[in-house]
Structures are given as C-alpha cells and as structure tokens.
Amino acid sequence: SSKKNKLNNKKKVAVVGGGLVGGLNACFLAKRGFEVTVFESREDIRCAKTVKGKSINLALSHRGRQALKHVGMEDKIVSNGIPMHARMIHSVNGKCSPIPYGRKGQYILSVGRANLNKELLTAAEAYPNTQLNFNHKLLDWNPETGTMTFLGPDGTEKDFQADLIVGCDGAFSATRKQFLRRSRFDYSQTYIPHGYLELTMPPRNGDFAMKPNFLHIWPRNTFMMIALPNMDKTFTCTLFMPFEEFEKITTGDELMAHFQKYFQDSIPLFGVDVLKRDFFQLPAQAMVSVKCSPHHLNEKCILMGDAAHAVVPFYGQGMNAGFEDCLVFDEILDQFDEDLSAVLPEYSRVRVPDDHAICDLAMYNYIEMRAHVNSRYFLFRKYLDNVLHFFMPRTIIPLYTMVTFTRTRYHEAVIRWKWQNKVITQGLLLLGTMSTAGATYLLVKYIPQKSTGSVEQLWNKLLNLKWFQK
Ligand SMILES: Cc1cc2nc3c(=O)[nH]c(=O)nc-3n(C[C@H](O)[C@H](O)[C@H](O)COP(=O)(O)OP(=O)(O)OC[C@H]3O[C@@H](n4cnc5c(N)ncnc54)[C@H](O)[C@@H]3O)c2cc1C
Ligand SMILES: Cc1cnn(-c2ccc(OCc3ccccc3)c(C(=O)O)c2)c1-c1ccc(Cl)c(F)c1
C-alpha cells in the first residue's frame, strides 16, 4: 500500500555482498520500498573481463526459480539457461545411460554464474531506491548502533548507518564476525578432504561435444566428475577428487593415466592439450560446510546465503537455498507487517532448521557418493526411485525430487524421506516373509509323501506360532 511504502522509504537497509544472494536480496528489498544500499568488496563484475573464483555455471532448480519469479527475473534467467531433463551417467566402459529427472516439466537449468550475477545487479540498480557501491569491503559493524565500517576504493575507512544489515557476504562472511562474539551463537565449519577443479570441454565441429540437455555425471566413488552445458556450446566440467589425489598428479603423463583409467570417454571430448592446460592452470579449490544459529542478531542484522549456511556442492542447492532464504524472509516481512523486532527472530526460528537440513543433505550426498556410488549403483538407485515413484506417486517421492522440484521445506523432506525408507524396508521385509511362507507351503505340499511327516509336523508348529496369526 502507498502508506506502507511511504513509511518504508524511511527504512534504510544495507546489503553486504553483491554476489548472487546479495544481488537478489537487493531486488526483494527494493521492490518492497526500502532504501537499499549494496556494498560489494570486489569491482563491478559488469565491467570486469572475467570472473575467477567459484563454479562457472550452476544448476538452478525450483526453489531458486520461485525466488527469481517473485522479483520478475525468472523468465530472463531461464531464457539464458540450458535445461537438463535427465542425468547422463557415464560408465567406466564409456557406456552412457540417461535417467530422466521426472515428468516432462521436471528439469534443472544450467546457468552461467557471472551472467546471473550481472543480471541481478542490473535489476537491483534499476530501482530508484537502490544504490550499489563496489570496492567497498566491510571491516566490522556495531551491533548496538548498526554502524558499519567499510574500506573504500581509495583505501580510507568509511562509516555507514542502517536500520537493517543483511549479511550476504558468503562463506567467509565479515558480517558474521560480530555474531561469533555473542553468547549462545552456535557455529561450525567443516572442510572436506575433496577439492574441485574446473575443466572446459570445447565444442566439436561447432556444436556441443556431448548431448547438451543433460547433467553429465561420471560417478567413480572417490572420484566424481560432472559436466554442465554453457550457452557457448562448451561444457564446464567439475572434477572432484581428494586433495591427496590431486597432489599425486604432477605431470601430463600422470594426468592422462588417471583419465585413461577413470574418465576414458572424456579424453577425446576435451582433447589432450586442453585437458593438460586446464588441469594444471589452477590449483584445486577447497569446499567448506558452514552451519550457524541463530541467523539474526538483535533486530539489527540477518545473515542469508552462504554467510548463514555454506553447503558442499553435492546437491546443487547452495544458491537455490540462498535464493529461497530471500523468499522466506520476504514472506515473513509480509506476515509480521515488516516489524523487524518480530520478523528477525521468526526468520531464524523458521529458516535455521531448513538451512541446517540442506547442509546435512549435501554432506550426506557427498559421503554416500564417495562411498558407494559408481555408475552401476547410481543407475540402480535412480531406477528404483523412479519405479517406486511411478507405482506409488503420492507415497514414494524420491528425496532428490522433493529437494530439487518442490518447495517442501528441507527439514520436512528429510522427515518424509526417512519415513519412506522405513515403509520400503518394511515392505521388502513383508515381501520376503510372504515369499518364504509361500515357498515353504509349496515345498510341503508337493514333497513326496514318505518324507512329509516331520515337515507336516514342522508346518503345523509354524502355523500355531503366535506371530503367524498377527
Ligand atoms: C564448485 C561449486 C559448485 C556449485 N554448484 C552449485 C549449483 O550447481 N547450484 C547451486 O544452487 N549452488 C551451487 N554452488 C553454491 C553457490 O555457488 C553458492 O551457494 C552461492 O554462490 C552463494 O551465494 P552468496 O551470494 O551467498 O555468496 P557468494 O556467491 O560467495 O557472494 C558473496 C559476495 O560477498 C562479497 N563479499 C565477501 N566479503 C565481503 C565483505 N567483507 N564486504 C563486502 N562484500 C564482501 C563477495 O565478493 C561476493 O561477491 C556451488 C558452489 C561451488 C563452490
Ligand atoms: C550440480 C548438481 C545438481 N544436482 N546434482 C545431483 C547430486 C546428486 C544426485 O544424486 C545423488 C545420488 C546418486 C545415487 C545414489 C545416492 C545419491 C543427483 C541425481 O540424482 O542426479 C544430482 C548435482 C551434482 C553435484 C555434484 C556431483 Cl559429484 C554430482 F554427481 C551431481
């Protein structure tokens, strides 16, 4: 309402971090009429040539799309993404097996990180009540007054006052520093022994080297590789290996021997020279999992995105969860009529269990894939999921489907998944018991006469047992 908007313009909100979640949050908050100021430590990536750092492309799925849709960005982002309707599982022998994600409409999108970040910054900047400040690095802030201190482009320190600070400054958040000084603030971080490295698979004869509308996966237990398509007909392949394995590969020959053994089909698609160039260009990057609680401090500050919950990338949900943070916060602002003293605690109460659940799910996937998942197991599990879901669509919904294609709260998806596993286990047990009983019955019935006495006695004893009559 205009009255509310008039009131809002008085609320000054500082968004720390102009990455994916900070960019989207700026759109949400500006759309609501707040006076939004974004502070980003890096330069404006829209002027920079290339953006080094994290993954070059990402899987965008339902949760992230719903958040983008709320600020009118979904169509633009989706139009620049490439749909992946199925996984393409690459076996060691080079065989490729597609497994659909679900019904026709269920697909995930490969989107370019840099382009997404640029689009979000441009969309935020389009609001008259938004200002973007680049080359501004948050040094610290005062929880009582809300005064922030930034290191500006000229190397001098600048203070800034806000009614609300939204910390979207990533896994190594400076905003979060103040939280760590508070009593009853829980914090944990875990580095996993795997690192990741990005390799580019060039086009072949002017077209994609592999089928583009798939999430390509080479599951090799300890080693995994995935490939997501880009608009320029390249694939960005991410190789996940323990750091100690990366350290063993120091020469081109060692690299080729490794790829011959585990990812042989990909060698002609990369080309030996490209593979060697990309592999030795940058060191493998670390992956950290961060959990904390609560996500707010007083009614002054709220953490969202990786600043609140950095997840290992084995579910393709980090950005989607961060985008959903923005949507949940917006929903609670509506619920409590923007009364921050109620909104911030409610946001932590509602969102922390879900952000912790996706942290745990991503780590579970990592451990499960590292331990069990080769291509045969991957295919078996996903076929089983799809068959059970086909015959009992309302009873059995694969966990990946709940996480990726619905907005089922992450922690509720885990509860339902555990219940489903119990149903499946008991179902299999019952099936086993019935078939054993059936087999025994047929055995007893058709065994030649002379030897049936003892078996008959046994059979009657079995039938008289209590547990048979339940
Ligand atoms: C290899 C890999 C693959 C991934 N794949 C996927 C995927 O497929 N799907 C998915 O959903 N997610 C994926 N993710 C996760 C996703 O990248 C993150 O969840 C997402 O980038 C989080 O966004 P964010 O804005 O919270 O943090 P970031 O993207 O880290 O942005 C933080 C911003 O804050 C700025 N900043 C930092 N400190 C300060 C400071 N002191 N002052 C001012 N600014 C500051 C930084 O410069 C940066 O611009 C992947 C991550 C990795 C590492
Ligand atoms: C970027 C992105 C988007 N989604 N996923 C993803 C993750 C896990 C999956 O299943 C786990 C599983 C398979 C088999 C048995 C148990 C669990 C599936 C699936 O079901 O297709 C898809 C990824 C991804 C990210 C990193 C690696 Cl290493 C990877 F392989 C895929």
Ligand nearest to the CA of 240: 2
CA of 240 to the centre of ligand 1 (A): 18
The predicted structure's pLDDT at residue 51: 56
Q: How much of the chain exceeds pLDDT 70, in percent?
A: 92
DSSP state of 265: G
Q: Whose CA is nearest to atom 27 of ligand 1?
A: 170
* Cβ of 316 below 6 Å from ligand 2: yes
Dmax (CA) for the chain in angstroms is 101
Ligand 1 pocket by Cβ (under 6 Å): 16-22, 39-42, 54-55, 58-59, 137-138, 168-170, 174, 196, 238, 305-307, 313, 316-320, 322
Q: Which residues of the chain have pLDDT under 70?
A: 1-9, 50-55, 448-453, 455-456, 459, 462-470
Rounded Cα–Cα distance for residues 198 and 230 (Å): 13
Reported as a single tens digit per residue, the pLDDT across 110-127 is 999 999 999 999 999 999
The predicted structure's pLDDT at residue 470: 43
* Cβ of 59 below 6 Å from ligand 2: yes
Nearest atom within ligand 1 for CA of residue 136: 43
CA of 309 to the centre of ligand 2 (A): 19
Rounded Cα–Cα distance for residues 112 and 232 (Å): 10
Ligand nearest to the CA of 65: 1
Place of tokens 């019904």: 103
Q: Whose CA is nearest to atom 13 of ligand 2?
A: 378
Encoded amino acid at 99, one letter? I
Q: Whose CA is nearest to atom 30 of ligand 1?
A: 170
Alpha-carbon radius of gyration of the chain: 27
Q: Which two tokens stand for residue 172?
A: 């190594």
CA of 412 to the centre of ligand 2 (A): 20
* Cβ of 313 below 6 Å from ligand 2: yes
* Cβ of 216 below 6 Å from ligand 2: no
Rounded Cα–Cα distance for residues 209 and 99 (Å): 19
Residues 235 and 84 sit within 8 Å (Cβ to Cβ): no
Ligand nearest to the CA of 196: 1
In terms of phi and psi (left: phi > 0; alpha: psi -120 to 50; beta: otherwise), the region of 206 is: left
- Strand 186-201: give its sheet, edge to edge: 96-100, 86-90, 214-220, 223-229, 235-242, 186-201, 285-293
* Cβ of 417 below 6 Å from ligand 2: no
Which residues lie below 8 Å from residue 42, measured CB to CB, with a gap of 6+? 18, 48, 134, 135
The predicted structure's pLDDT at residue 215: 98
Ligand nearest to the CA of 311: 1
Reported as a single tens digit per residue, the pLDDT across 29-68 is 999 999 999 999 999 999 987 655 566 999 999 999 999 9
* Cβ of 398 below 6 Å from ligand 2: no
Helix (H) or strand (E) holding 439: helix 410-446
Beta partners for residue 149, in sequence order: 140, 159
CA of 226 to the centre of ligand 2 (A): 9
Specify the 3-state DSSP secondary structure of 193: strand
For the residues of 364-393, what is the DSSP string, one character each?
HHHHHHHHT-BHHHHHHHHHHHHHHHHHST
Rounded Cα–Cα distance for residues 343 and 371 (Å): 42
Residues 180 and 170 sit within 8 Å (Cβ to Cβ): no
The predicted structure's pLDDT at residue 452: 54
Exposed/middle/buried for residue 17 (C-beta within 10 Å: 0-12, 13-18, 19+): buried
Place of tokens 């709940």: 402
Rounded Cα–Cα distance for residues 190 and 360 (Å): 11
Name the CA dihedral angle for 331, 332, 333, 336, rounded to a multiple of 10 degrees.
130
CA of 272 to the centre of ligand 1 (A): 31
Ligand 1, residues 15, 21, 225: which to mutate, most atoms within 8 A of Cβ? 21
Ligand nearest to the CA of 315: 2
- Long-range pairs for 183-190: beta carbons < 8 A, 24 or more residues apart: 185/292, 185/293, 185/294, 186/291, 186/292, 186/293, 187/290, 187/291, 187/292, 188/290, 188/291, 188/292, 189/288, 189/289, 189/290, 189/291, 189/310, 190/288, 190/289, 190/363
The predicted structure's pLDDT at residue 24: 98
CA of 19 to the centre of ligand 1 (A): 6
Angle of the 62-70 helix axis to the 318-335 helix axis, nearest 10: 40
The predicted structure's pLDDT at residue 16: 98
- Long-range pairs for 48-53: beta carbons < 8 A, 24 or more residues apart: 50/114, 51/113, 51/114, 51/117
ipTM value? 0.99
